[in-house]
Structure 1
């Protein structure tokens, strides 16, 4: 375990602050009133960081982002936390600085950190064969794919397991209907169901031959984590990365709005999708609220948390899940699923940035420019608080 003292210091910094709501354009913020934002802005203004604040608000206006949060840490201490826009579908409630959001593929950073910690503790090994350890039954009347037992933990961490969506055209984390039909399910597939289904699906390349980004590989890792720890995947993340003390700030996402805690924002969908929760293809629902069962994707993208927790994690681990060193290069992780876009940016100069939005834009990477936008603003900061 690494950095527990620094993690506690970070979590306690600014404790109890940054929750005062103001209305941009209605309240004078010390000469920086952001009059054209016209959306709620919560949290304490930090005058030294007005350039960052302005950049975030301008980006959200220009890109029509309904709601978001921004957290910034300097040398392991949170120095900025604000909420922007609205957290509810009717756009009446402001986003709090501590609101929780889906973090999508940033979940993979937590997955990697947990797996690497288990390897360090001797509970797993990089050359372990996950499909041998899990020992799941191949679907009835199907044959087990050759090469599965050659896949190692290391292969999965490095996206070298053998699956290539660009070649196969099939991404199992988004194929609820096909998987439910193949396994004769009357409910959404779980992570283990998806792994079982893939036992009989061909690989597109020999494990270790190359690296191709794989959501499924990280889903497998989270199922392996549950087997190794005896805990659910979110419980294992909380236990290993945070000493178990962030249950209200890091948890498994819920597909349906009624199942989400009050602190979590509402998500904005670009359109409607077949209802994957009822498996009724002709019943369409907002994609973020039923078209994508987030509970089933495990370590590929199921976690929900807030910017402070991301910054706490970032103080101890890189976005690759490795222990954070004094001379780590700049690393960035993005996440994007229906209704959410996220970024954790480790600049390598002592400044870490976490951004969470409750929409994804019209394409998967539509909001990725937030990185350069905030980097430019950070470059204009002369004095840090």
Structure 2
């Protein structure tokens, strides 16, 4: 789009990606196993063997110990698999993984649903719903009142983690020292600190992926609904779809059925001021802060079930709401034609629904991808790591699964939904 601005790094490389401050390689890294023990759970489907083969080769090349895949076709759940590669635990189709920024689709949907129910309008300023008081002695950027809920969800609020090298979701120590508060931080600490920081861009003028914008969106959900963010999402969005396993993840402890996370890196904890070195997935970032931005845990079957809520005829969202989720923004249409909608990346295509939609997620110990295709397929894939000594890309799972889907000559007629959703 003429006149569109995007911050210096390619926006597409930022979506779903999140750091955790300064990390260092952990001693010993992730050792390669002398022998490979490969396990796959769930129902094997001969016609869909290309998906199993893709997951096996992808995981073994990177030493990924735990992975999961679910695939739907024309509204039917046709594949749900858990994969273990020298894993100390059995990975089931219902095992839970952190999904990182795939969580943004739930947060955006919560605001869209509140708008559908007449509780707010997406054109509301955040100032209508949130306290923008800065720390003592600091002033609020007057442009902050021009940040609307639309702009939060489309990453055009005016913050820029690229140009400032400052993503407040991963600057816990700086914020704690500035405010004189202890770690682990609360949402209110981050918001108060950021209320005293100037915006980098005029709101609505520039796309820059903002985890902080989604932190704020979660607080708007709470302010308007009167419920904790997680409770609202579970009650209004997940329960109607019979999704009961999804939850907000914890930084150290694990939920029942949740996998362990791996990384070759370690770093200082943000859970207290000790400066102790911890494994990267367990305390170099705060899952409490991440909730609306990247804090959910889910299985792959839960994610494709969630994706079905955005199909035509949805029981959760009316046509107006679905139109809002996938509406073309006034700025931010990439040269390749894709853009960020409300919690989803969107690429217009010919045929079918006329669009592919997707989101990735990335945190230390996590890589995730959720895809909805224009011709009636969807898939979700999750891994319990995002880095390893091989240096191989994890984003390549996207093209690999597209290739696997094209190798299917005849799609099965069965439907596994009732196996996983009572």
TM-score, normalized by length of structure 1? 0.84
What residue in structure 1 maps to residue 337 of structure 2? none
| 1:316/1:56 CA distance change after superposition, 3 Å | same
> 1:384 deviation in Å?
1.1
Deviates more, 1:117-126 or 1:310-319: 310-319
The 5 A counterparts of 1:251-290 are 251-256=247-252, 259-281=253-275, 283-290=276-283
Matched, 1:44 2:43: yes
| 1:241/1:56 CA distance change after superposition, 3 Å | same
CA distance in 1, matches of 2:343, 2:159: 24
What residue in structure 2 maps to residue 345 of structure 1? 371
What residue in structure 2 maps to residue 331 of structure 1? 357
CA distance in 2, matches of 1:230, 1:122: 14
Matched, 1:81 2:80: yes
Deviates more, 1:340-349 or 1:189-198: 189-198
Task: Give the one of 181, 188, 191 matched to 1:185.
Answer: 181
Preserved contact between residue 37 and residue 57 of structure 1 (Cα < 8 Å):
no
Task: Give the one of 95, 99, 106 matched to 1:99.
Answer: 95
CA distance in 1, matches of 2:353, 2:59: 32
> 1:365 deviation in Å?
9.5
CA distance in 2, matches of 1:242, 1:321: 18
For residues 205-237 of structure 1, the C-alpha deviation after alignment (integer angstroms, 9 at most, x for no partner) is: 100111111111111101111111112212121
For residues 304-362 of structure 1, the C-alpha deviation after alignment (integer angstroms, 9 at most, x for no partner) is: 11111111111112785589997151112100001000000112111101001000125
| 1:165/1:365 CA distance change after superposition, 3 Å | farther
The 5 A counterparts of 1:152-167 are 152-167=148-163
Matched, 1:125 2:151: no
> 1:37 deviation in Å?
6.0
Larger relative contact order (Cα-Cα within 8 Å, sequence gap ≥ 6): 2
What residue in structure 1 maps to residue 301 of structure 2? 308
| 1:322/1:262 CA distance change after superposition, 3 Å | closer
> 1:123 deviation in Å?
0.9
For residues 119-172 of structure 1, the C-alpha deviation after alignment (integer angstroms, 9 at most, x for no partner) is: 121111121111342124322232222211111111111110001111111100
Preserved contact between residue 307 and residue 355 of structure 1 (Cα < 8 Å):
yes
- For structure 2, the 5+ residue unaligned runs are 1-34, 312-324, 326-340, 413-422
Task: Give the one of 280, 291, 295 matched to 2:284.
Answer: 291
The 5 A counterparts of 1:136-215 are 136-215=132-211
Deviates more, 1:91-100 or 1:352-361: 91-100
Instruction: Give the number of aligned pairs.
Output: 344
> 1:262 deviation in Å?
2.4
TM-score, normalized by length of structure 2? 0.77
| 1:153/1:306 CA distance change after superposition, 3 Å | same
| 1:247/1:195 CA distance change after superposition, 3 Å | farther
Task: Give the one of 294, 307, 310 matched to 1:317.
Answer: 310
> 1:103 deviation in Å?
0.6
